[in-house]
Structure 1
Amino acid sequence: MQTEKRTLLTVFTEATLEHVLIKDIDRLGIRGYTICDARGKGSRGVRDATWDESKNIRIEIICARPQAETLLAHLQERYYSNYAMVACLSEVEVLRPGKF
């Protein structure tokens, strides 16, 4: 089995940002992403999705490191100061690297 290294960018943020973040991701030429509902507790308290303003999402993107870093810098510059958002980068190994 042969794998190749890629970067996984995981973003946890407010669900209200989903549509604008999808536009940002597409604009940067990233080929795919996964978005799931997310609940939990952090520095801004419990986010339990019991009402629309407390819904969070988790976005996962596997791509080349430069793309991940470009998107992360954009998120930090545009959204970090005004929205609940955290993100992390990790190295992953993938099969079928042409998909990413």
Structure 2
Amino acid sequence: MSMSTRTLLTLICEAALEPRLIKDLQRLGAPGWTLSDARGSGTRGVRSAGWDNDGNIRLEVVCGRERAEQIVHHLQERYYDDYAMICYLSDVEVLRPQKF
């Protein structure tokens, strides 16, 4: 079994941003993404789950490091000042690296 290293970009933010983020990911060349509802508590208080505008989403992208950093830079420049958002990168081992 041959494994390759890629970068997992994880973004947790306000559900209201979903349509804009999907367009951004397409434009920035993300090879794909996984989107789910999220709930939790942080510096901006408790956030409930659900797909309405009051909830949070968790968006994950597996891609090359350079593309992940490009996406993170865009998110920071465009959204960080005005929206509840956290983003982090992790190295992950994947099968079928050509997919990412």
Deviation string, structure 1 residues 18-69 (Cα, Å, up to 9, x no partner): 0100000000111100000000000000001379342000000000000000
- Secondary structure at the counterpart of residue 98 of structure 2: helix
Identify the residue that residue 73 of structure 1 maps to in structure 2.
73
The runs of 5 or more residues in structure 1 that have no matched partner are none
Aligned length: 100
- Secondary structure at the counterpart of residue 80 of structure 1: coil
TM-score (normalised: structure 1): 0.95
Aligned in 2, Cα 1:3/1:14: closer, same or farther, shift over 3 Å?
A: same
The runs of 5 or more residues in structure 2 that have no matched partner are none
Task: Note the 1:13-24 alignment, pairs <5 A.
Answer: 13-24=13-24
RMSD of Structure 2 on Structure 1 (CA): 1.4
Matched letter for residue 66 of structure 1: E
Identical columns (%): 59
| More moved, 22-31 vs 44-53 | 44-53
TM-score (normalised: structure 2): 0.95
1:98 and 1:14 mapped to 2: Cα distance? 31
Matched letter for residue 26 of structure 1: Q
Task: Note the 1:1-100 alignment, pairs <5 A.
Answer: 1-49=1-49, 52-100=52-100
- Secondary structure at the counterpart of residue 17 of structure 1: helix
